[in-house]
């Protein structure tokens, strides 16, 4: 796998805490607007530039992305952002709630993404992919890192651990209470050692950021189509790489991704339970306390004001995707019993991610609906699906903590292409 050091714009250390922000896609439009109003100097103002416009304004209009480019230029002019002129790697640690993970920030080959060395497990939505592509193309920068996983390599982790004994570039606690620590790897010998070890990683997996990765590839193609005569060979230009952070599998943490359905498809609670039993689930006795399953193919069901434990007793497809808890629930309950055959588009279903406490599902289900509490999908299951080139059902994985945006801003334009444009 090819992962290179890169030239980076980053916030001044004294401004990093205020500038770093949660990623663009965890906010609704109104939530983004409120967050920027509270922290107008955060990177979210650049990541979600429609917040500078009236709520009725088309959030995908060209002037919205031009606003992002203008705000980014302003942050360079006012000294918020500085440029590390020499290509560097960075190490990025996120710590909180008893969990810590340390990843390598680098520019990863888009050719590796397109040929499957960097594996994916989700479809992308064209409108969301275009949004990020337009943001990258207009600002000329990749601003939100993709989260990648790799199978643990003790030698690579030894190099990372040694580098983190140096003084950090950043070390702060952000607005959400997450401690963020960043080290810069710039010594030529250290850069060469890290590049060599990364080249030996046989495969990486997109854990989070499928739209950002697809957008980077889309912009690369458009950029080469427009400026090919002035560019070097594929794999030699900044646009040929995508910004990502690579973490060992063992350090990543997933949280549950639950399902809330607005109604019971006309079935009374007792009739619904009977249908589930006929389908092949064992149905436990009613309980007053929420059920958060820990075993495979077990589910907590909230309906009719009570919780019950479900366990699938039937056959399971012998494919990585078919064996997933989310797949069995979709194939055996949501589809055939509740009539939700297209969960990605059906307005009756709501996905609730990142909730360790299933209590939060009860008010969402209300009296008329129901909720399924699931265990978190293991990282190994996600990798197995990607290895089989499978596609997971919508909203199968929730990774926590989320990578912050704004700490690493990677330009993709060459001087020759800028002059031509």
Vertex 365: Cα angle to 355 and 121 (nearest 5): 50
State mean pLDDT over 160-168: 95
Domains of the chain: 3-253+401-420 (no CATH), 254-399 (3.30.1760.10)
**pLDDT tens, position by position, 126-147:** 999 999 999 999 999 999 999 9
Query: Rounded to an integer, what distance in angstroms lies between the CA atom of residue 131 and that of residue 135?
Result: 6
* Total Cβ atoms within 10 A of residue 79: 10
Average pLDDT, the chain: 95
Question: Higher confidence at residue 66 or residue 124?
Answer: 66
State mean pLDDT over 363-373: 97
State mean pLDDT over 23-45: 94
Residue 414: pLDDT band (50, 70, 90) is: low
Looking at residue 182, its pLDDT comes to: 98
DSSP string, 63-120: HHHHHHHHHHHHHHHTTSEEEEEEEEEEEEEEEETTEEEEEEEEEEEHHHHHHTSEE-
Contacts within 8 Å (CB) and 24+ apart, 21-24: 21/47, 21/404, 21/405, 21/406, 22/176, 22/402, 22/404, 22/405, 23/47, 23/144, 23/402, 23/403, 23/404, 23/405, 24/48, 24/144, 24/405
Looking at residue 33, its pLDDT comes to: 96
State mean pLDDT over 96-104: 95
Residue 405 backbone class (left: φ over 0; alpha: ψ -120 to 50; beta: rest): beta
pTM over 0.85? The answer is: yes
Looking at residue 416, its pLDDT comes to: 42
Looking at residue 419, its pLDDT comes to: 40
């Amino acid at each position: 796998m090819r992962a290179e050091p890169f030239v980076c714009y980053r916030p001044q250390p004294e401004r990093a805490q205020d500038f770093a922000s949660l990623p663009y896609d965890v906010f609704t439009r109104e939530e983004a607007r409120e967050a920027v109003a509270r922290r107008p100097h955060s990177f979210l103002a650049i990541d979600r530039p429609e917040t500078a416009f009236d709520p009725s304004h088309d959030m995908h209009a060209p002037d919205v992305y031009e606003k992002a480019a203008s705000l980014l230029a302003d942050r360079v002019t006012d000294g918020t952002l500085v440029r590390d002129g020499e290509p560097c790697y960075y190490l990025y640690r996120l710590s909180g709630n008893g969990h810590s993970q340390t990843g390598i920030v680098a520019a990863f080959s888009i050719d590796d993404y397109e040929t499957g060395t960097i594996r994916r497990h989700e479809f992308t939505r064209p409108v969301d992919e275009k949004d990020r592509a337009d943001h990258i193309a207009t600002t000329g920068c990749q601003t939100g890192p993709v989260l990648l996983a790799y199978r643990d390599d003790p030698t690579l982790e030894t190099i990372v651990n040694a580098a983190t004994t140096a003084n950090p570039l950043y070390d702060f606690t952000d607005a959400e209470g997450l401690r963020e620590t960043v080290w810069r790897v710039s010594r030529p010998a250290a850069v060469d050692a890290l590049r060599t070890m990364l080249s030996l990683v046989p495969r990486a997996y997109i854990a989070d950021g499928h739209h950002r990765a697809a957008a980077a590839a889309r912009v690369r193609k458009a950029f080469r189509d427009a400026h090919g005569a002035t560019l070097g060979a594929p794999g030699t230009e900044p646009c040929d790489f995508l910004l990502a952070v690579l973490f060992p599998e063992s350090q990543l943490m997933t949280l549950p991704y639950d399902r809330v359905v607005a109604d019971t498809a006309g079935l009374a609670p007792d009739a619904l339970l009977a249908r589930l039993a006929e389908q092949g689930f064992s149905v436990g006795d009613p309980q007053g306390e929420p059920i958060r399953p820990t075993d495979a193919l077990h589910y907590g069901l909230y309906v009719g004001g009570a919780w019950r434990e479900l366990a699938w007793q039937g056959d399971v497809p012998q494919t990585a995707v078919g064996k997933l808890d989310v797949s069995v629930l979709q194939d055996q309950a949501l589809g055939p019993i509740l009539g939700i055959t297209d969960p990605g588009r059906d307005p009756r279903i709501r996905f609730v991610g990142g909730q360790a406490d299933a209590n939060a599902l009860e008010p969402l289900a209300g009296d008329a609906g129901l909720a399924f509490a699931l265990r978190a999908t293991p990282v190994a299951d996600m990798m197995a699906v990607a290895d089989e080139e499978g596609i997971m059902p919508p909203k199968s994985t929730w990774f926590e903590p989320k990578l912050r945006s704004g700490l690493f801003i990677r330009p993709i334009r060459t001087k020759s292409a800028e002059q031509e444009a």
